[in-house]
Amino acid sequence: MNSTFVTIASLQERMAEGVPNGNSDEETVRRLWWAALDTLQSEILLPMNFTRGLWLSSPLPALYEPKLLKKLKGWVWTPKELGNLQIPSVGLLPPSCVMSFNQKNDAINASYNRLNLQVEDGNDPLLLVITPEIQIALALQGMPGERNLIMRSDPETLRELLTMLDSRLNAEKEEQAFQLRHELGELGQLRSNDDLSKIFWPLLAKRLAGIAPSLNIQTLPEKSSNEEQYHSQNGEISLLEALTHEIRTPLATIRTLIRSLLRRKDISNVVENRLKQIDAECTEQIDRFGLIFNAVELETRKPKQSKLAVTDLGGILQILAPNWSQKLERKGLKLVLDIDSELPKILSDPEGLELMLGGLVDRNTRGLQPGGVITMKLRPAGQRLKLQILSEVSTTNRQTSEKNSNAPVGPVLSWNPVTGSLQLSQAATQRLLKSLGGRLTNRRDSGLTIFFPISDTKELEHIKQ
């Protein structure tokens, strides 16, 4: 390799200039990295609602928010062995917007330039995001035991990083260097944001504090039983939030690698089918734990009512049904969709409705024996639409389920002794649906019934109560 060739490692070394050595181990610094990506995207970039920009990443795509991927032009350095890598649809993933289902794959497989990572580049992650309003670089760097998360937003460092990247691209593919310079020119005058660190680090600290288990080794004064119950539940919720985060992260990475292998032409049909099964299972569990994470956030942060928007519930069900049917067929189950024609639209939060509906289907099919049927009915009901999710089970199975009711596990989850699985508690399910504009009723042997207000009613204030 030419001695003047710019490596990813040299970019990270430049970022580390003037920054004290870290003292973190590999596990800790990786958690910092994932939390930093989550903070940058959800707390800083998405609220800005910018329309253009670019990003550069190594050794895997670091951005995973579909709304960002649609707007930003990307360059990603990845190992040659990964072939044509696809951007994962969910990393720490919220679900994609239901209102644009037809363009869903455009966000997941957003266009970016893929370049080969060299041995000299190392495997430490790097992300650089440049928009007219904000410019930021993130990286992990340091020797074992001295690992560090680095964030730079000062104009001098960013200018040098872009100059080094231009040199790197010139050595690899001159047309890519020209394209990068063109994209930078199209952005126009960049606003300096050297003070971004004053915003970023407190937001990151808040996010880490929110997902860290509550531990206190001090001897505390005697508490009342109500206070003890409150602090116990707080600790359980914090631990659950940390666990869901830790579970989804490796699953998303595994799925990314699986999808890169699926694009290879030299794998056998048997291997391809196995990989697809693994991909499907990862997606199912990512969505499941994503729903639990949303329920935990609702329990701990008590956010305001979601922004309700006009939503075509019937259309959403029609689009999601084939994927649900495929999942259920693997379990020997059947899905029946029974939707009235020409139904009015509802008021809901389309961002979260896809994940919630999938969770309800999963909830009502767990424990069903092969041959079982789940029916989804959508009907008008006055100034609302009524969605029913009904499970057909044998008399034996019904008697068994009645004898084994769910046991609560904290304020968010319940334990089903029949299926041996954890699921959202009834109260947590009701809270999540309420945040999406829905009202849940659950009667024995009649499945779930959810009412959504139609869009031409003036009931938003009533929903918030």
Query: In the structure, what pLDDT confidence band is assigned to residue 56 with cuts at 50, 70 and 90?
Result: very high
Per-residue pLDDT of 287-331, as tens digits, reads 888 888 788 777 766 555 557 888 899 999 999 999 899 889 888
> Where is the domain boundary, 211, 237, 254?
211
Within a domain: 36: yes
Per-residue pLDDT of 201-240, as tens digits, reads 988 888 776 654 433 333 334 444 444 444 445 545 666 6
Q: Kindly provide the b/e burial profile for residues 25-57, where b requires at least 16 CB atoms within 10 angstroms of the residue's own CB.
A: eeeebbbbbbbbbbbbbbebbeeeeeeebbbbb
Q: Both 141 and 240 in a single domain?
A: no
Q: Both 71 and 166 in a single domain?
A: yes
Per-residue pLDDT of 236-286, as tens digits, reads 566 666 666 667 777 777 887 788 788 888 889 899 888 988 888 888 888
Q: Which of the pair, 172 or 233, is modelled with greater confidence?
A: 172
Domain span at residue 411 reads 309-464
Alpha helices (H) along 173-312: 174-187, 197-211, 225-262, 269-301
Q: Are strands 407-409 and 413-416 parallel, antiparallel or unpaired?
A: antiparallel
Domain count, the chain: 3
Q: CATH number of the domain that 287 lies in?
A: 1.20.58
Q: Both 271 and 346 in a single domain?
A: no
Q: Both 336 and 456 in a single domain?
A: yes
> Where is the domain boundary, 211, 246, 273?
211
pLDDT at residue 9, rounded to an integer: 93
Within a domain: 2: no
Query: In the structure, what pLDDT confidence band is assigned to residue 38 with cuts at 50, 70 and 90?
Result: confident
Q: Kindly provide the b/e burial profile for residues 248-257, where b requires at least 16 CB atoms within 10 angstroms of the residue's own CB.
A: bbebbebbbb
Q: Both 172 and 124 in a single domain?
A: yes
Q: Both 178 and 325 in a single domain?
A: no
Q: Both 271 and 331 in a single domain?
A: no
pLDDT at residue 129, rounded to an integer: 94
Selection from 201, 193, 103, 96 nearest residue 154 by Cα: 193
Q: Both 166 and 32 in a single domain?
A: yes
pTM: 0.51
Q: Both 77 and 28 in a single domain?
A: yes
Within a domain: 216: no
> Where is the domain boundary, 301, 333, 362?
301
Determine the Cα–Cα distance for residues 164 and 169; give it in Å rounded to an integer.
9
Within a domain: 219: no
Q: CATH number of the domain that 364 lies in?
A: 3.30.565.10
Q: Both 199 and 242 in a single domain?
A: no
The residues that bridge with 311 in the sheet, in sequence order, are: 346
Q: Kindly provide the b/e burial profile for residues 399-423, where b requires at least 16 CB atoms within 10 angstroms of the residue's own CB.
A: eebeeeebeeebbbbbebeeeeebb
Determine the Cα–Cα distance for residues 405 and 419; give it in Å rounded to an integer.
11
Q: Which residues contact 323 (CB under 8 A, 6 or more apart)?
A: none
Within a domain: 117: yes
Determine the Cα–Cα distance for residues 1 and 10; give it in Å rounded to an integer.
14
